[in-house]
A and B are shown apart, each in its own frame.
Chain A
Amino acid sequence: SQTIHQWPATLVQPVGSPLSLECTVEGTSNPNLYWYRQAAGRGLQLLFYSVGIGQISSEVPQNLSASRPQDRQFILSSKKLLLSDSGFYLCAWSIITENSPLHFGNGTRLTVT
């Protein structure tokens, strides 16, 4: 069966520090991969999605970036965090069929202080 791992579960970082969140998927090949952010009162916001290694689509201009160095690995990064980057970061995967559902990880709660 397929599983998705996200870490860390919680993170407290000072403003201006770098960020690296990692997500890996097991049990499937060539998945679509996604990063969403959920801020208080704002719902799920799509940040990045990837349909293959090295292929990243960015939805929102910001100081975050994403990379997909391996087929089942998706990394979210920032060089300098802002207070507004605080939130609940969720990684998800789906098969490549257009209407396939998303399978989410358990998320990372990031607090920028």
Chain B
Amino acid sequence: SQKIEQNSEALNIQEGKTATLTCNYTNYSPAYLQWYRQDPGRGPVFLLLIRENEKEKRKERLKVTFDTTLKQSLFHITASQPADSATYLCALCQQAGTALIFGKGTTLSVSS
């Protein structure tokens, strides 16, 4: 069955540094992958979508890469700020026409 792994449950970094979060998947070749941010007690909020034919996608301080050979996506936050502290989730579809499935998330803490 499809498996999504976000390798680190928690990541602690200092303000101003770049945070890098990893998402690995097995047993499937998704056409696209999505990243979400979730704050405590709230629903996830969509951040970025990257397609299989896109190696990299950027939005302000966020950058996502997608390596279909390694079956891995990396999510980067540059010049991190304490306000970036949250849980970040990656998600993909098992197959066309089905709903998104999510990884367990990585909780990022940015200290000042």
Binding site for B on A (CB under 8 A): 32, 34, 36, 41-44, 46, 49, 57, 59, 90, 92, 98-99, 101-107, 109
Nearest CB on A from B45, distance (A): 7
Nearest CB on B from A43, distance (A): 4
Report the contact-size class of chain B (Cβ under 8 Å from the partner).
20 to 34
How many angstroms between the C-alpha atoms of A26 and B45 in the bound complex? Answer: 18
- For residue B70, CB closer than 8 A to chain A, the reply is no
Q: How many A-B residue pairs have CB under 8 A?
A: 52
CB within 8 A of B104: which of A43, A92, A106? A43
Residue among A92, A98, A99, A107 with max Cβ neighbours from chain B (10 Å): A99
* Contact (Cβ within 8 A) B97 A107: no
Q: Which residues of chain B are within 8 angstroms of A92 by Cβ–Cβ distance?
A: 43
